[in-house]
Amino acid sequence: MEKQKSPLSLDELKKLRKQIRNINIEHRKSLTYLDRIALWITERIGTMGFFFIIFAWTIFWLSWNALAPVALRFDPLPAFVLWLFISNMIQIFLMPLIMIGQNLQGRHAEKKANADYEINIEAEREIETILQHLENLNEKIEKINRRLDDRK
């Protein structure tokens, strides 16, 4: 027969319990000013609102330079060289910022996953202790029932 571990008492369990950390607050405190800027940009660029702004800007730019009177066009059709240059500059500057923001978000997700793992380990230990206490109580109840049955 397998030897049972003696269950932890509630006091022992309370002593082992760690204070729950708020990973979101810890992560925010660990960010530098530049990290916050990168996250701010990443969070705004990855929205439909930003997409619609870029889309509207592109439609306006191309339409103006294709349909406006020739004297008012500043980026002539068909090359749209200035539009291509500005679009490429936006991409060149935003790409690294988005990647930095995604790396920061990834580190935050990893911290949250580690905190969840710690909580799961703690919960498992508590559940195991509760089950051991229940098994011990069940054994005691069975002994009491046997004694009562023997008295009859």
Highest-pLDDT range among 32-36, 52-56, 90-94, 147-151: 52-56
pTM of the full predicted structure?
A: 0.60
- pLDDT band, residue 1 (cuts 50/70/90): very low
pLDDT of amino acid 49: 93
Domain ranges of the chain: 22-121
Q: pLDDT by residue (tens digit) across 56-66?
A: 999 999 999 99
What Cα–Cα distance (Å) separates residue 27 from each residue in 20, 99, 106, 115, 116? 15, 18, 11, 12, 15
Residue 4 has pLDDT above 60, yes or no: no
> Are 81 and 95 in contact, with CB atoms under 8 Å apart?
no
Q: How many CA atoms lie within 13 A of 11 on its CB side?
A: 0
User: Is residue 6 scored above 50 in pLDDT?
Assistant: yes
User: Over 60: is that where the pLDDT of 96 sits?
Assistant: yes
User: Is 35 within 8 Å of 104 (Cβ atoms)?
Assistant: yes
pLDDT digits (tens, 9 = 90+) for 98-127: 889 889 899 999 999 998 998 898 889 889
pLDDT at 3 over 60: no
pLDDT tens figures, 21-71:
788 888 888 899 998 988 888 888 888 999 999 999 999 999 999 999 999
